Amino acid sequence: MQPTLSVQIGPLILENPVGVASGTFGYGSEYEALVELNALGAIYTKAVTLAPRPGNAIPRIVETPAGMLNSIGLANPGVEAFVEHKLPELKTRRAAVIANVAGASEEEYLAVLERLEEAAGPWISPPEGLPISACSARTGIDGYEINVSCPNVRHGGLAFGTDPIQVERLTAALRARTRRALIVKLTPNVADIAPIARAAEAGGADAVSLINTLVGMVIDVRRLRPVLAMGTGGLSGPAVRPVGVACAYKAARAVRIPVIGLGGIMCADDALQYLLAGARAVQVGTGTFVNPRTAEEVLCGIRAWMEREGVERVEAIAKMLA
């Protein structure tokens, strides 16, 4: 039996459940020499903001036990440069392209999404049941991931993502402006992720992705100062995986829309933990830095596991947890 690997996220069918996480993969071309981009289910782009952002003061990264802290600060060339320089190349990708959108205010999120909608043109609905990768006419953007969870910017980011009322309002406003898949990326930096996930669902999101990074700090005890210029950063890597799996488990039981799990996935078993916890798809982030072929290896491993266990569809994995 050949398992079916495709998964549906709102109007979008991904060829397989394994994507590469925003902020860890640039716009795809950076890794083209090392990664078989066509093997990926989805590429989540570096966050796009309205104006160019140079990013935070340096140093921006530091290694931690089985993890790393980053404080990049959404460094990106802005939506106009994205449209001009990145979109043409993204149209040529086989993998689904999910544009990650960030803003400091509701107006900024809306302006970015509207500009991207205008540049990519109307959503072309694929023939029934066909994964986006099998479609000939591609627009360069197959969905949006709304970043309401960046811990490294003063405005927007976490300020939105920890407040269910704001999450619902922002999601609804974005929903009204696109027919493309709308994914809201959630933060684990809350007491309970369930109300936030429900708010995204109530606002009309097609899925929630989680987790973004956990706020952390490393102090240099010789120099008597935080290592990162901004003081704190976002923790990622295998160290956060149990937190991510728990969040996916909670969110999957709080909403009917699909959950996309990420956080510390380094191998297929890690991804399977998320799928068993209730996620329908996964993203590989920091794992790509360590081994650029992590996403490919995760996909191979999921396929082999499904064959071995006699599981026909990815969605069925969520029902297997005891």
The reply on whether position 70 binds other proteins by CB under 8 A is yes
Would you count residue 232 as binding other proteins (CB under 8 A)?
Answer: no
Piece of the chain touching other proteins by CB under 8 A; list 23-31, 171-179, 242-250, 252-260: 23-31
Would you say 240 or 281 has its CB closer to other proteins? Answer: 240
Instruction: State yes or no: is 150 an active-site residue.
Output: yes
CB of 21 to other proteins, least distance (A): 11
Give the residue from 73, 2, 31, 102 showing the smallest Cα distance to 291.
31
Q: Residues 36, 38, 54, 121: which binds other proteins (CB under 8 A)? A: 54
Q: Does 317 bind other proteins (CB under 8 A)?
A: no
Q: Which stretch binds other proteins (CB under 8 A): 2-10, 55-63, 130-138, 306-314?
A: 55-63
How far is it, in rounded angstroms, from Cα 278 to Cα 264? 16
Residue 290 makes contact with other proteins by CB under 8 A: yes
Dist. CA 20–CA 213, nearest whole Å: 15
Contact flag: residue 293 with other proteins (CB under 8 A): yes
Compute the distance between CA of residue 92 and CA of residue 127 in angstroms, rounded to an integer: 19
> Binding to other proteins (CB under 8 A): which residues in 259-278?
266
Within 188-227, which residues bind other proteins (CB under 8 A)?
223, 225
Q: Does 58 bind other proteins (CB under 8 A)?
A: yes
The beta-strand segments (E) located in the chain are 7-9, 12-14, 18-20, 42-44, 61-64, 67-70, 96-101, 143-147, 181-185, 207-210, 214-217, 219-220, 225-226, 232-236, 259-262, 281-284
100 counts as binding other proteins under rule CB under 8 A: no
Expressed in angstroms, the distance from the first to the final Cα of the chain is 24
Q: Could you list the active site residues?
A: 150
